[in-house]
Homo-oligomer: A and B are copies of this chain.
Amino acid sequence: MSRQSLTTPRKLILDIVSNSHDHPTASDVIDRIKSQGQSVAYATVYNSLRYLTEHGLLRELRLEGDASRYDARIEDHQHIVCVACGAVNEIMTPTPQEWIHRIEAETGYSIKEEEFLFKGECEACRTSKNPVHS
C-alpha cells in the first residue's frame, strides 16, 4: 500500500465518476473537471483512474470505441449497449453459476472475472423505429 491514498485529485476524479451515470471516459472526466473551473493534468487523470481501478474503487470498462470508460458501481454487473443510439445500460441479472461451471470444465480454467458486453436495440429505439400498427 502507498502512503498517500485518496489525494485531492483522486478524490475529485472518484467523485466525478461516482456522480456520472454515463460511464465517462478519461477525457470526459477532464472536461468535467475543466467545466468546474478546476484543472488537473492529463497524466494525473490517467494515473488516478488507474490507481482507483487497481484499488477496487472504480471498474474499467472497455465497451465500444477506443477509450476506456469508468464505472463507480463496483458490484458485480454487466453492460448492454444500444447499437442504434449508443446508450449504455447495466445488467444486474446474475450469471448462471451452472454455466460457469460448465465452462470451467470445458476449458480447464478457474474463472476469476467475467466481462460481458451485450449489444442490441434499446426499447426507445425499437419503439421509434417500429411504430405501433394494428
The range of chain A's interface size is 20 to 34
B93 adjacent to A96 (CB under 8 Å): no
B62 adjacent to A111 (CB under 8 Å): no
Q: How far is the CB of A107 from chain B (nearest CB, A)?
A: 5
Q: Is the C-beta of A1 less than 8 angstroms from some C-beta in chain B?
A: no
In the complex, per-residue mask of A76-106: 1 if CB is within 8 Å of any chain B CB, else 0 = 0000101100000101110110110011101
Q: How far is the CB of A27 from chain B (nearest CB, A)?
A: 16
In this complex, which of A104, A109, A110, A121 has the most chain B Cβ atoms within 10 angstroms of its Cβ?
A: A109
Measured between beta carbons, the chain B residues less than 8 angstroms from A113 are 83, 118-120
Docked CA distance A134–B99 (Å): 31
Q: Is the C-beta of A112 less than 8 angstroms from some C-beta in chain B?
A: yes
Measured between beta carbons, the chain B residues less than 8 angstroms from A131 are none
Residues of A whose CB lies within 8 Å of any CB of B are 62, 80, 82-83, 89, 91-93, 95-96, 98-99, 102-104, 106-123, 126
